[in-house]
C-alpha cells in the first residue's frame, strides 16, 4: 500500500475494530454493533479508503443509506476525504438506486423511461378508482386499507397471482382483485408506486440476465447501512447484485430494528452469517456519542427484550447527568414545560439545533408546535405537512410530469382544470374513457375531437392543450428546469389565478411555488451535465421529509422516533411516555412490545449529553375528552439510580395496577373521566368505525358476548374488540 498522508488521516480517527472493518478487502462482511459505535462512520471511511488505495473506482461503489439526507451527508464526507471523483458513486437510498436503474431500463418492463412515481395519495386515488370500477363500496373497503395490504404484499415479493392462489376470506379475495387491477392500471398510466421501485427492479434483474450481469459487474463494492431494517424485496435485490462478487458489507444493530410494520425482517441481519458462512464479522463496542448514564439506561431498557444479541457498549465520555423524568398534569403543561426548558437552555447558550424533541406519533407534535410558536422559539417539524404534498406544489409537478409523460391520467386530471378553465368532471371522465377505449394516450385523447365534449368544454380544453403543446416544445429542448417551470406557471395562468385571489393563503401558495423554483434552480446548478426534467421529477418524488432537516439555521427539531434513526443530538426530550401512547396501544394489544422497546432504545441512544423523559397524567383522547393515563412501563424499566426520580408511586388513576391490555385501561379511564362508553351503539357488519388509537376500520363480523370484529385500515388482519368498552364509534 502506498504511503499516503490521506490514508493515514483516514485511519487515524478509528479504533482497532473500526480500522479492521474499514481496511477489510474482498468478501462479505457483517458489522454488528450497538448505537453510536461508529457504524455509519465506518461505511464512510471504508468508501474513502477503497477509493484512496485504488482498490475501487468511484463508479464501482454502491452504498445504501436509509434516507436521502444520510446519503447526502455520506457523499459530502467522502468528497471531503477524496475530492470530486466521489460524484460517480451511487450513494443513495434503495428507492433512489432502483429508480435510477428503472429509468435506464423501464422499457424492458413495458414502461417508458419517463414513468411517473406515485406517492401514497396518488396510490390511494388510483386504488379508489379500481374499487369504483368493480362497484365496491369504498367506505367499507377503504382505499387506505387496500393500499396498505398491497404494499405489504409487494414488500414480501408476493405477486397478485401468487396471492390470488392463497386467499381465504372474502376480504382477501377483494384485495387480490384490486391488487391485480391496480397493477394493470399503473402499467397503463406508465406509473410506479414507491414499492414498485424495488419490486420492479428485482423483476428487471431477475428476468434480464444481461442487465443483472452489467450491474453486478459494475457494483463491485456494495455497502448497506441500517441493514436490520431491510425487508424481503430489498434483501433479494442485494442478493441479485452481489451473488457473484460477494463484496457485500452490511452494518446494523438488531436492537434498532423498528420497521417490521413495513415488512422489515430482522432475520436478514441475524442470518447473515448463515447466508455467508465465511463472512468477516466485526463487533464495535465503544460508543462515541453518549454519556455512560444514557448508555446504561438504554442498555437496561433493551435488556428486557428476549433474544437480543449480547453487546457491551461502553463510552469514555464520562458519567454525565442523570436521566430526567418529569410528570405533567396534561399535554398542555407538558408542552409548556418543554418550551420553557428549551428557552432556558437557549439562554444558557445552547444552540437550538442541538435540541430535539421526539414523540411516538406525529399528532403529538401539534400542541408543542403551538406552544413553541407562541413562545417564538424557532423549530422545524420533520414529517409535518410535507412541502411536496401541498396542493400547489403537486399541481406544478403534475404540469411538468404531463409534459414528459402523456399517458399520465392522474397528472392530467389534476391540472386540466387547475386553475379553473371550465373543464368539468364529466368532460375529464370522457377524455379518460376515450383514451382507455381507443388505447391512445391521455394527451392525444385531450386533443381529439371525438370525445363528445360539449362545445364550451371542447374549446376550453383546446386552449389548454395548445399552451401545453407550446410548453412541450420548450421542454423537448431540455432547458434548465427552473426556466421551464417558470414558463409553466406563467403560461398556464396558474400564477395569475393565485395573484387574482388576493388572499393571504394564495400569497402563501405563491411563496411555496417560489421555493419550488429555487429548488429547481439549485437542481440546475448542481446537475453535472445539464440535468434533465425527468431526473428532477424523480428527485422530488423520492424526497422524503426527513430530508428537509436543516441543522445550520438554529432550529429545534421535532420528530417521531422513527424519523430520528441514525441521527444524534446533544439534548433530547422524549414526550408522551405513557402506556397507550408509548408503548403504543396497538403494540400492547398485539404484544409486539419488543419492537416498541427497540424504538425506545433508538430514541434514548440519540442523546449525547442530556436526556429528559416526560409523561402526562391526563391526555386528550381522539374523540375529545381527557382520560387519565398510566406512566409508560418503559420508565419503570429504567434503573432508578440512573434517573433523577426518587422511587415514587404516581399512577395515573386511583387503584390502577399494571393493566393487561389497553382496552381495560381505556375502559377504566373512561369511567374515571366520566367518558362515553359504547353501550348505546349497535354495530352491523359493514359499518365504518373509528377507533381512538387505531383509526379507521370496518366491521367485518359480530360474535357472541358483544364482540365486534374490525379490520383497521392500517393493518392487514381482523381484530376482536369488546363492543361496549373499546373506544370505537360509528362514523
Ligand atoms: N473512532 C471515533 N473517534 C471519534 N468519534 C467517533 C469515532 N467513531 C464514531 N465517532 C462519532 O460517534 C458518533 C456516532 O457515530 P455513528 O453515527 O457512525 O454511529 P452509528 O453506529 O452509525 O450509530 P447509530 O446506531 O445510531 O446509527 C458520530 O458523531 C461519530 O462521528
Ligand atoms: Mg448509523
Q: Is 603 annotated as a binding residue?
A: no
Query: In angstroms, what is the span from residue 406 Cα to ligand 2's centroid?
Result: 41
CA gap 594, 588 in Å, rounded: 10
Nearest CA to ligand 1 atom 25: 35
Sign of CA dihedral 620, 621, 622, 624: negative
User: What span, in angstroms and rounded, lies between the C-alpha atoms of 467 and 472?
Assistant: 9
- Rounded to an integer, what distance in angstroms lies between the CA atom of residue 200 and that of residue 208? 12
Chain-centroid distance, C-alpha 513 = 24
In Å, the largest CA–CA distance within the chain is 81
The answer to whether the annotation marks 40 as part of a ligand binding site is yes
SS3 3: coil
Looking at ligand 1, which residue's alpha carbon is closest to its atom 6? 288
Ligand nearest the Cα of residue 11 is: 1
Out of 33, 41, 604, mutate this one to test ligand 1's pocket (max ligand atoms within 8 Å of CB): namely 41
- Report which protein residue has its CA nearest ligand 1's atom 29: 289
Rounded Cα gap, residues 5 and 331, in angstroms: 55
- Pair 681, 729: CB distance under 8 Å: yes
* CA-wise closest residue to 436 among 423, 418, 421, 448: 448
Dist. CA 495–CA 406, nearest whole Å: 23
Q: Which atom of ligand 1 is nearest to the CA of 43?
A: 18
Of the bound ligands, which one is closest to the alpha carbon of residue 315?
1
Q: Whose CA is nearest to atom 5 of ligand 1?
A: 288
Give, using CA atoms, the residue closest to atom 14 of ligand 1: 36
Identify whether the C-beta of residue 66 lies closer than 8 Å to the C-beta of residue 225: yes
What's the pLDDT tens digit per position in 489-518? 999 999 999 988 876 567 768 877 887 888
pLDDT tens track for 706-717:
677 788 776 656
Using CA positions, which residue lies closest to atom 18 of ligand 1? 38
In which residue are the cell numbers 375531437 written? Answer: 449
Question: What DSSP line would sit under 510-533, residue for residue?
Answer: HHHHHHHHHHHHHHHHH-TTS--H
Residue 252: per-residue pLDDT: 94
H helix intervals, 417-503 = 425-438, 442-447, 455-476, 481-491, 494-501
- Say whether pLDDT at 551 is over 60: no
pLDDT at 662 over 80: no
How many residues make up the chain in this entry? 731
Compute the distance from residue 358 Cα to the ligand 1 centre, in Å: 20
Cα–Cα distance measured from residue 540 to residue 117, given in angstroms and rounded to the nearest whole number: 10
Q: Report whether 578 contacts 616 (CB < 8 A).
A: yes
Residue in 303, 141, 2 with CA at minimum distance from that of residue 687: 141
- Please give the distance, rounded to the nearest whole angstrom, from the Cα atom of residue 540 to the centre of ligand 2: 25
Residues 6+ apart with CB under 8 A from 334: 328, 367, 575, 576, 614, 615, 616
Of 12, 15, 40, best ligand 1 pocket probe by most atoms within 8 Å of the beta carbon? 40
pLDDT band at 59 (very low <50, low <70, confident <90, very high): very high
- The answer to whether the annotation marks 37 as part of a ligand binding site is yes
- Measured from the Cα of 41, ligand 1's closest atom is 18
Residues with CB under 5 A from ligand 2 (ion): 39-40, 566
CA of 89 to the centre of ligand 2 (A): 19
Confidence of residue 121 (pLDDT cuts 50, 70, 90): confident
Q: What is the pLDDT of residues 524-545, one digit of tens each?
A: 887 766 678 988 888 877 764 4
Query: Is 44 within 8 Å of 78 (Cβ atoms)?
Result: yes
Cell numbers placing 214: 452489467
pLDDT band at 595 (very low <50, low <70, confident <90, very high): very high
Closest CA to 111 of 410, 440, 407, 397: 407
| Least confident piece of the model among 29-33, 219-223, 541-545, 638-642 | 541-545
CA distance 379 to 511: 19
pLDDT digits (tens, 9 = 90+) for 275-310: 999 999 999 999 999 999 999 999 999 999 987 777
pLDDT of residue 430: 94
Which ligand is nearest the CA of 225, by number? 2
**pTM attached to this predicted model:** 0.76
Q: Which residues line ligand 1 (CB under 6 A)?
A: 13-15, 18, 33, 35-41, 253, 256, 288-289, 566, 568
Atom of ligand 1 nearest to the CA of 256: 25
Task: Find out whether 652 is annotated in a ligand binding site.
Answer: no
Considering every ligand atom, which ligand is closest to the CA of 44? 1
pLDDT of residue 505: 65
Catalytic annotation, residues: 39-40, 225-226, 256, 606
Q: Which atom of ligand 1 is nearest to the CA of 602?
A: 26
Within 8 A by CB and 6+ apart from 416, the residues are: 423, 428, 431, 446, 461, 464
DSSP run (H or E) holding 61 = strand 61-65
Q: Mean pLDDT in the chain?
A: 86
- CA distances in angstroms from 390 to 511, 550, 607, 721, listed in the order given: 12, 20, 32, 37
Q: Can you tell me the distance from the alpha carbon of 49 to that of 55, in angstroms, rounded to the nearest whole number?
A: 8
For ligand 1, mutation pick of 288, 551, 570, 572 (most atoms within 8 Å of CB): 288
Query: Could you tell me the distance, in angstroms and rounded to a whole number, from the CA of residue 19 to the centre of ligand 1?
Result: 13
User: What residue owns the CA closest to ligand 1's atom 12?
Assistant: 288
Nearest to 16 by CA among 289, 247, 286, 317: 286
Most informative mutation of 257, 289, 313 for ligand 1 (most atoms within 8 A of CB) = 289
Backbone angles phi, psi at 507, to 5 degrees: -60, -45
CA–centroid distance, 339 to ligand 1, in Å, is 29
Minimal-distance CA residue to ligand 1 atom 27: 566
Q: Taking phi first (over 0 means left), then psi (-120 to 50 degrees means alpha), and beta for anything else, what does residue 116 get? A: beta
Instruction: Decide if pLDDT at 651 tops 50.
Output: no
- For residues 76-101, give the mean pLDDT: 88
Q: Is the pLDDT of residue 653 over 50?
A: no
Q: Which residue's C-alpha comes closest to atom 9 of ligand 1?
A: 38
What's the CA-to-centroid distance between 357 and ligand 1, angstroms? 21
Q: How is residue 1 annotated by DSSP? A: -
Residues 6 or more apart from 499 whose CB is under 8 A from it?
506, 510
Ligand nearest 287 Cα, by number? 1
Task: Please determine, for residue 589, whether its predicted confidence score (pLDDT) is greater than 90.
Answer: no
% of the chain beyond a pLDDT of 90: 57
> Which atom of ligand 1 is nearest the CA belonging to 287?
12
The H or E element containing residue 174 is helix 170-188
CA dist 641 → 305, 321, 325, 525, 611 (Å): 21, 11, 12, 55, 15
Residue with the smallest CA separation from ligand 1 atom 15 is: 38
Whether 626 has a binding-site annotation, put simply, is no
Q: Which ligand gives the minimal distance to the CA of 606?
A: 1
Tell which atom from ligand 1 comes closest to the C-alpha of 253: 25
Mean pLDDT (whole number) for 206-215: 97
Q: What is the ipTM of this complex?
A: 0.99
Instruction: Identify the pLDDT of residue 559.
Output: 92
Residue 232, annotated as binding a ligand: no
Identity of the highest mean pLDDT range in 115-129, 199-213, 530-544, 643-657: 199-213
Residue 530 marked in a binding site? no
Which of 36, 317, 566 to mutate for ligand 1's pocket (most ligand atoms within 8 Å of CB)? 36
Distance CA 429, CA 133 (A): 13
CA distance 392 to 522: 20
- Check if the beta carbon of residue 542 is closer than 8 Å to that of residue 96: yes
Alpha-carbon gap, residue 699 to 719, rounded angstroms: 10
Query: Is residue 67 marked as binding?
Result: no
Atom number in ligand 1 closest to CA 226:
27
How many whole angstroms from 492 Cα to the centroid of ligand 1?
A: 50
- Residue 39 CA, ligand 1 centroid: distance in Å: 6
Nearest CA, atom 11, ligand 1? 288
Closest-CA residue to 43 (of 61, 68, 67): 61
Beta strands (DSSP E) in 621-716 are 626-628, 630-631, 688-691, 695-703, 707-712
CA of 525 to the centre of ligand 2 (A): 30
CA of 545 to the centre of ligand 2 (A): 18
Angstrom distance (rounded) from CA 485 to CA 496: 15
Please say whether the beta carbons of 634 and 583 come within 8 A: yes
* 59 and 85 Cβ atoms separated by less than 8 Å: no
| Closest alpha carbon to 323 in 714, 1, 645 | 645
Please give the Cα distance from 563 to 551 (Å, whole number). Answer: 15
Amino acid at each position: 500500500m502506498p504511503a499516503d498522508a490521506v490514508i493515514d488521516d483516514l485511519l487515524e480517527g478509528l479504533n482497532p475494530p473500526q480500522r479492521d472493518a474499514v481496511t477489510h478487502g474482498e468478501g462479505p462482511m457483517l458489522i454488528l454493533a450497538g448505537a453510536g459505535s461508529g457504524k455509519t462512520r465506518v461505511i464512510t471511511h471504508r468508501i474513502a479508503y477503497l477509493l484512496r488505495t485504488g482498490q475501487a473506482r468511484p463508479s464501482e461503489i454502491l452504498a445504501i443509506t436509509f434516507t436521502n439526507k444520510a446519503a447526502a451527508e455520506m457523499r459530502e464526507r467522502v468528497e471531503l476525504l477524496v475530492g470530486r471523483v466521489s460524484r460517480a458513486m451511487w450513494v443513495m437510498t434503495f428507492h433512489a438506486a432502483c429508480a435510477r436503474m428503472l429509468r435506464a431500463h423501464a422499457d424492458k418492463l413495458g414502461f417508458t423511461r419517463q414513468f411517473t412515481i406515485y406517492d401514497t395519495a396518488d396510490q390511494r386515488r388510483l386504488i379508489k378508482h379500481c374499487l369504483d370500477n368493480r362497484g365496491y363500496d369504498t367506505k367499507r373497503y377503504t382505499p387506505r386499507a387496500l393500499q396498505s395490504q398491497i404494499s405489504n404484499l409487494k414488500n414480501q415479493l408476493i405477486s397478485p397471482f401468487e396471492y390470488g392462489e392463497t386467499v381465504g376470506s372474502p376480504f382477501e379475495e377483494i384485495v387480490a382483485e384490486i391488487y391485480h387491477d391496480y397493477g394493470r392500471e399503473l402499467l397503463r398510466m406508465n406509473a410506479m408506486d414507491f414499492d414498485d421501485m424495488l419490486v420492479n427492479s428485482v423483476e428487471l434483474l431477475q428476468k434480464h440476465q444481461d442487465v443483472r450481469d452489467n450491474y453486478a459487474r459494475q457494483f463491485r463494492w456494495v455497502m448497506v447501512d441500517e441493514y436490520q431494517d431491510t425487508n424481503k424485496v430489498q434483501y433479494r435485490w442485494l442478493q441479485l447484485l452481489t451473488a457473484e462478487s460477494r463484496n457485500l458489507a452490511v452494518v446494523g444493530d438488531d436492537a434498532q430494528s423498528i420497521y417490521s410494520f413495513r415488512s422489515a425482517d430482522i432475520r436478514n441481519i441475524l442470518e447473515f452469517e448463515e447466508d455467508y458462512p465465511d463472512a468477516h464479522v466485526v463487533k464495535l463496542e465503544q460508543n462515541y456519542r453518549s454519556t455512560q448514564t444514557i448508555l446504561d439506561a438504554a442498555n437496561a431498557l433493551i435488556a428486557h427484550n428476549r433474544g437480543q444479541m449480547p453487546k457491551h457498549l461502553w463510552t469514555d465520555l464520562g458519567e454525565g447527568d442523570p436521566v430526567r423524568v418529569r410528570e405533567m398534569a396534561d399535554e398542555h403543561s407538558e408542552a409548556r414545560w418543554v418550551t420553557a426548558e428549551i428557552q432556558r437552555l437557549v439562554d444558557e447558550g445552547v444552540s437550538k439545533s442541538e435540541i430535539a424533541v421526539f414523540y411516538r406519533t406525529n399528532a403529538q407534535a401539534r400542541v408543542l408546535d403551538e406552544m413553541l410558536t407562541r413562545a417564538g422559539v424557532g423549530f422545524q417539524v420533520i414529517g409535518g405537512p410535507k412541502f411536496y404534498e401541498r396542493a400547489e406544489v403537486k399541481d406544478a409537478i403534475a404540469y411538468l410530469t404531463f409534459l414528459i409523460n402523456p399517458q399520465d391520467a392522474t397528472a392530467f386530471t389534476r391540472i386540466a382544470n387547475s386553475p379553473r378553465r371550465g373543464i368539468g368532471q364529466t368532460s375529464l371522465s370522457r377524455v379518460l374513457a376515450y383514451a382507455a377505449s381507443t388505447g391512445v394516450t391521455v394527451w392525444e385523447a385531450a386533443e381529439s375531437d371525438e370525445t363528445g365534449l360539449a362545445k364550451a368544454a371542447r374549446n376550453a380544453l383546446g386552449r389548454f392543450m395548445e399552451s401545453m403543446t407550446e410548453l412541450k416544445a420548450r421542454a423537448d429542448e431540455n432547458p434548465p428546469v427552473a426556466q421551464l417551470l417558470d414558463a409553466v406557471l406563467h403560461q398556464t395562468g396558474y400564477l395569475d389565478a393565485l395573484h387574482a385571489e388576493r388572499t393571504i393563503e394564495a400569497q402563501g401558495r405563491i411563496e411555496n411555488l417560489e421555493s419550488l423554483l429555487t429548488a429547481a434552480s439549485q437542481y440546475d446548478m448542481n446537475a453535472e451535465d445539464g440535468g434533465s426534467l425527468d431526473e428532477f421529477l424523480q428527485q422530488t418524488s423520492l424526497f422524503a421529509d426527513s430530508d428537509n432537516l436543516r441543522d445550520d439555521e438554529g432550529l429545534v427539531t421535532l420528530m417521531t422516533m422513527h424519523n430520528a434513526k441514525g441521527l444524534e443530538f446533544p439534548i433530547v426530550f422524549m414526550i408522551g411516555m405513557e402506556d397507550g401512547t408509548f408503548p403504543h396501544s396497538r403494540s400492547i394489544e398485539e404484544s409486539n412490545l419488543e419492537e416498541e422497546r427497540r424504538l425506545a432504545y433508538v430514541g434514548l441512544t440519540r442523546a449525547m449529553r442530556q436526556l429528559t423523559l416526560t409523561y402526562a397524567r391526563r391526555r386528550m383522547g381522539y374523540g375529545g375528552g381527557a382520560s387519565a393515563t398510566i406512566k409508560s412501563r418503559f420508565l419503570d424499566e429504567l434503573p432508578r439510580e440512573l434517573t433523577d426520580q426518587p422511587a415514587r408511586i404516581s399512577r395515573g388513576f386511583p387503584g390502577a395496577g399494571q393493566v393487561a391490555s389497553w382496552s381495560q385501561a381505556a375502559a377504566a379511564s373512561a369511567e374515571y373521566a366520566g367518558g362515553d362508553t359504547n353501550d348505546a351503539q349497535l354495530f352491523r357488519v359493514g359499518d365504518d368505525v373509528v377507533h381512538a388509537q387505531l383509526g379507521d376500520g370496518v366491521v367485518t363480523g359480530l360474535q357472541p358476548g358483544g364482540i365486534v370484529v374490525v379490520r383497521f385500515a392500517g393493518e392487514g388482519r381482523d381484530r376482536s374488540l369488546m363492543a361496549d368498552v373499546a373506544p370505537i364509534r360509528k362514523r
